[in-house]
Structure formats: C-alpha cells, structure tokens
Amino acid sequence: MSDLKIWKAILQINFPSSASLFDNRGKIATTWQHKHGLTEWRVAQNQVDVHNKALTRSLVVNHRSISAIEELPESYDEFSQLAGDYSSSTLNVLGVRKIERAGLRLMFVAERKNFRSLVNKMKKGFYKLDDEAWGFLGGDPADVGLHLVLNLGDGRANLSLGPMEKIELERQFESEEAKKAIPEVSLLADIDFFYREPKWHPKSYRKQIGLFLEDGKNEVQEMVNRFVDHFGGFQ
C-alpha cells in the first residue's frame, strides 16, 4: 500500500464574474469568521479571505471563484464538510446560477531517502531510453517528472508526479507548520481532478459538491496508490 498522504487539499469552483461580491463581502466574512478556528480575515476590493492564524486553513472568494484550502489536514472528511458548506453557502449568497469548473486538487507527499536515487528509479520506471538516447539530450537528467491529463471517472485529472527537494516543495505551502514538516526529499503526487460546466442546480449545490468531493477523493486516491504501488513506491 502506498505511503502517500494528503498534505494539501483545495476545492476551487469557478463561475461567471459576479458583481454581487462587492455588496456581500462583509456578510461572507462575518458568516465564517470564528468558525472552525478561522479567527483572521482580510477584505479587499475584489476578494474576501478568512483563515486561521497558522494559515493551514483558508476560505477565499473573489468575483470569479471560491476556494477552500487546507494544509496538513487531520481529516479529509472534516475538510470536505467545511469546503462543501462554505462553497455552497457562498455560491447562493452571490446568486451564482452556473458553474464553469469544479476542481479538487490533492497534493500527496511521501518521504524518500535520497533524491538522486529517487530520480534514477523514476527514470527507469517511466522512460525506456538507453544511454545513447539520453546522450542526445546531454546525458542523464538532473530531474524527472510525469505530467499527464487523464480521464478519471466522470471527470478529468491533471497529474504531476515526481521527486521533490524540501526547498522546492516549500513553495507550495503557506503555513510555517507545513514548511517545517516537509522532508528533505519527497515523492510528490499533485492531482487536480475537475469537472467542466457541471449541470448543478443552485438548490442542489450542497449535495452535488459533497458528492464531487467524495467521489473525486476516492477516484484520485485509488488511482495514485495503484500507480505508485505498481513501481514499488519508488523505494
């Protein structure tokens, strides 16, 4: 079984530009401040951001999108509940009638011992090139990665899989808590699972978003675990 764990979860829902954000910024901020440890807030002309002090949990809305973000989630179910409640509530406050894109981005991380060894194992697993072919490209690669667009269930997924050093992976996180916990060498699987223009009715936003969060996580986790396990976890 793969040792990959979810280190960051993001739900982002995009919609046609909504002018009603300007009249509802205060309402959105006060609705969510002091819930789920979200004690901090920022209100700008085009954005509302409510977050905790550690920056491990954030709820963000602008005139084109809504995002719920959690770093080092203790429970995916807890993230899913908050993300579903926040996004469906805010969509209705803004009067959004059409969804352009619903995306669930999950970043899985697993510690590995040696960067060079991990690169070599992934190179051998992914690329069937001999030394002569690599020579045409200047010799052995300094780094490798796999980037694919996949059909996954009822949606699609952008997959990025590769080795990461601590200094590089830190850029993907906002909280010091997450940055300090990042291993010196990691295997990263970054998957953005999405639906384009899902036919969700405003009255069923909460139900549909909940199903999307559940099905998306299950599809993504099963896929990435089976794929990485196929290569022995690149251990």
What is the rounded distance in angstroms from the CA atom of residue 194 to the CA atom of residue 13?
9
In angstroms, the CA 233 to CA 213 distance is 26
Q: What tens digit of pLDDT does each residue of 165-221 get?
A: 999 999 999 999 999 999 999 999 999 999 999 999 999 999 999 999 999 999 999
What does the domain layout of the chain look like in residue ranges? 1-235
* Encoded amino acid at 164, one letter: M
59-102: per-residue pLDDT in tens? 999 999 999 999 999 999 999 999 999 999 999 999 999 999 99
Model confidence over 100-132: pLDDT tens digits?
A: 999 999 999 999 999 999 988 888 888 777 777
pLDDT in tens, 139-173: 777 788 889 999 988 899 999 999 999 999 999 99
pTM of the model: 0.94
Q: Using an 8 Å Cβ cutoff, are 140 and 123 in contact? A: yes
